[in-house]
Amino acid sequence: MNKSLQYISSAVFGVAVFLYWILLHPYALGLQEQNQLFLFTSDYFLERIVIAGGLADYISEFITQFNFLPYLGEILMAVIFVVFQRSIAKAVGRDDLYAFSFIAPVMMLIYMGDIYVLLSYLVALIISVQLCICYCKWKGFVWTAIATVLGYWLIGPAVFVFTFFVCIKEKNIRSMILIALALLAIVISKLTYLHQYPWKTVVFGVNYYRKAVTVPAMQLVIACFILMIPVLADYLPRLKKVAGILIYVAVFVVGALTLHLTYKKDIVEIVAYDQLVRHEDWDGILKRAEKYQPDSDLASVSINLALFMSGRGADFPEFKQFGTTGLIQPRVRDFISNSSSCEVFWRLGMINESLRYAFDTQESLVNNRKSGRWTSRMAECQILNGRHDVAQKYLDILDHSLFHRKWADEHRKYLRNDEEIASDNVYAYLRSVRYKEDFLFFYPEMDKMLAKLYYENNNNYLAAWYYKAWTALKPLNANDEETFTGNSHAN
């Protein structure tokens, strides 16, 4: 295949990747940004680099933070996937096998449809394939041995794609030594700085997948397909142009079919609702719900909030309801279930419960990251609660980020300054409609707490609307067991 066709096919693939994220997984990249908080500090870098795969993790989080801006994240993903594909093609070094270089990237695109997959795995694979390219130019046992051991520390076990690439190319005793060094790097890491991780995680990667104890089969299959191409390059005769075109068609058809079979519409919509709530796009939520509403109370929380905020509260019966949990979720320890409920509490004036849900959501990130969205919300809650030292701590953290720094600087004016708080329409309103006194929060008696909220603050129309909706939906789950018995200050 001539160079022009190669460039065109790679460009078309990049456009396809961009459209994939825009059309099939809108807001998924925003969720990834929400579930981390990249900080420009030496401590943050050291915290990442001390773990196997830390450099790949650090680079991926640096890139992921740009998902905060509309379309920029999708553009960056398209560029990264094209770099991945071109790197594989260059490592193979045969123009007639150029179509094979799209197999692993297409599989990676399908794999990343899972919201638990982290960009660090793709970054690590790209670095590993770049090492393969370096080997093709500068063969040498010493530097490949160093790259195997050091690479495991910097990018994690994805470096073994490079190690096995070298073994496939050399097929001699030095290959066995490289494999032995790879095993030694794993064992030493497990016995020293990774001793708290299970063996499976140490062998297959710490921060490639958000659930550290889970290793999806797709992760291993992608690595195997990257290694398959050098084997084909060594043994396949030169392919004719027609064969190359057939491979392109096969990759496209199989990839499109797999995307269709693995596409999870309900999860995509729930993620979209969460991000639309984050950006207060109430009309956007209702437009999506009118076309397709997931069979989930999580989606219902976002939709019901959007109904009131957009002035369409009377349309409440027109949307599918799931009992009271579709109004406000009981506390669930994961990174998305309580997101919209946290926003409901915030707008109701139940500041402490908004604070609690924000804190629990952040601490439920299973890879122990922080969140710019929830750190910001906790800072706001503490400002309204008058705990300015705690609020300042959160603002100081945000001040080291790229896209949350400006927000943090703007909110410093509210610290220990009641006049500034009173001059802000949102903060002044929330302080006026919150509870007059503290009491213990009890989820099963939410209707009573909503009634009390409105009784003390007759201007709190949202509380009145939620009370009416709650009493209307309560019979739907009257026989359900109480799913939440925790207590906290409700104010």
Co-location of 251 and 302 in the same domain: no
Co-location of 95 and 154 in the same domain: yes
In the numeric block, which tokens belong to residue 88? Answer: 């594989």
Quick check: is 90 in a domain? yes
The mean pLDDT of the chain is 91
Rounded Cα gap, residues 286 and 320, in angstroms: 12
Co-location of 227 and 299 in the same domain: no
Q: What is the pLDDT of residue 448?
A: 93
> How many other C-beta atoms are found inside a 10 Å radius of the C-beta of residue 331?
19
Quick check: is 30 in a domain? yes
Rounded Cα gap, residues 380 and 376, in angstroms: 6
- Among residues 370, 384, 383, the alpha carbon closest in space to that of 412 is found at 383
Per-residue pLDDT of 37-86, as tens digits, reads 999 999 999 999 999 999 999 999 999 999 999 899 999 999 999 999 99
Co-location of 282 and 253 in the same domain: no
Co-location of 94 and 46 in the same domain: yes
In degrees, rounded to 5, the angle at the alpha carbon of residue 253 between the alpha carbons of residues 252 and 254 is 95
Quick check: is 488 in a domain? no
> 484 falls in which pLDDT band (50, 70, 90)?
very low
The model's pTM is: 0.92
Co-location of 309 and 197 in the same domain: no
Would the pLDDT of 463 be above 90?
yes
Side-chain half-sphere exposure of 485, counting CA atoms within 13 A: 2
Of the three residues 237, 263, 289, the one that is the final residue of a domain is: 263
Would the pLDDT of 360 be above 50?
yes
Co-location of 222 and 279 in the same domain: no
User: How many domains does the chain divide into?
Assistant: 2
Co-location of 74 and 201 in the same domain: yes
- Among residues 95, 170, 91, 169, the alpha carbon closest in space to that of 126 is found at 91
Q: What is the pLDDT of residue 477?
A: 66
Range of the domain at 308: 268-477
Of the three residues 239, 263, 287, the one that is the final residue of a domain is: 263
Co-location of 364 and 297 in the same domain: yes
> 479 falls in which pLDDT band (50, 70, 90)?
very low
Quick check: is 438 in a domain? yes
Quick check: is 483 in a domain? no
Quick check: is 489 in a domain? no
Q: What is the pLDDT of residue 465?
A: 95
Mean pLDDT of 195-203: 89
For residue 171, count CB atoms less than 10 angstroms from its CB and return exposed for 0-12, middle for 13-18, buried for 19 or more: exposed
Would the pLDDT of 136 be above 70?
yes
Co-location of 138 and 276 in the same domain: no
CB 65 within 8 A of CB 402: yes
CATH number at residue 399: 1.25.40
Quick check: is 486 in a domain? no
> 481 falls in which pLDDT band (50, 70, 90)?
very low
For residue 173, count CB atoms less than 10 angstroms from its CB and return exposed for 0-12, middle for 13-18, buried for 19 or more: exposed
Q: What is the pLDDT of residue 86?
A: 95
Co-location of 258 and 382 in the same domain: no
- The fraction of the chain above a pLDDT of 70, given in percent, is 97
Rounded Cα gap, residues 315 and 432, in angstroms: 28
For residue 304, count CB atoms less than 10 angstroms from its CB and return exposed for 0-12, middle for 13-18, buried for 19 or more: buried
Q: What is the pLDDT of residue 173?
A: 84
Whose tokens are 């397709």? That residue is: 292
Of the three residues 231, 263, 295, the one that is the final residue of a domain is: 263
Quick check: is 209 in a domain? yes
Co-location of 192 and 127 in the same domain: yes
